[in-house]
Amino acid sequence: MTSKDVEYSVAGTRMVGHLAIPDGKTKRPAVLIAHGGRGLTDHPRNRADRLAELGYVAFALDYYGGGQTIADGQEVQARIEKLWFDPDRTRSIAAAGLREMLAVNTADPSKVAAIGYCFGGAIVLELARSGADVKAVVGFHPSLPTQRPQDAKNIVGKILVCVGTEDPLIPIEDRLAFESEMRAAKVDWRMNLYGGAQHNFTDPAADRLAVPGLSYDQVADERSWRAMLDLFDEAFADN
């Protein structure tokens, strides 16, 4: 497996993503990764590397620009809100990352998945709502609301969202609204709830932030990772 940072552009903004590729020339399933609110930290980079070790081409996109990370919580919130209110921009960012990943010679365009963490979950869900040919989409502790729930009818792949029951940023009302959205659009979807897990439960660095409601949960992390791999197997077997 080899990995490297890759520069690309979205509407004139310089982005820096992280690409991880298995060795060899065989066509591989490809997984797009959208980072959490703090930016392109070690967490999405490590997930890309881990997926490459399992045989997937993996690309962790950048939705802030410059591959930067952000420590200030208020700045994170302001940037996320700006993107959330501009679904066209959000979808274009996701689509640009998808194009960059599929430019890799060994990426199989017929076997593509997208996963996202926190607001990155919203990024990949918007990609799905845009009608992109993505066979599986997984949101880990994702932002579920959307400006355009009616666009769920465009989703062509299978959807999985993994949510902690004690996540203060994903209230039950958001879960129910998402369920209604998926049901109305007749999407092949599922929602896994992890008892006791809080927000950011997949990131080992979460506890260092000392933010109430954010905490790493190893059990939930491992269970949701296995659920993701199971969904990939199911979705790619359909091709």
Q: What would the pLDDT profile of 121-167 be if each residue is shown by its tens digit?
A: 999 999 999 999 999 999 999 999 999 999 999 999 999 999 999 99
Q: Give dist(CA 118, CA 165) in Å, integer.
A: 15
Predicted model pTM = 0.96
What pLDDT score does 70 carry?
87
* Tokens read off for 28: 């591989």
Per-run averaged pLDDT (10 residues), the chain, 239 residues:
95 95 96 96 97 98 92 88 94 97 97 98 98 98 97 98 98 98 98 98 93 96 98 90
In the beta sheet, which residues pair with residue 5?
18
Query: Domain count of the chain?
Result: 1
What pLDDT score does 239 carry?
62
Task: For residue 198, give its domain range.
Answer: 2-237
Tell me the CA distances in angstroms from 57 to 17, 45, 47, 139, one per residue in order.
13, 13, 11, 19
* Tokens read off for 143: 């932002």
CATH number at residue 56: 3.40.50.1820
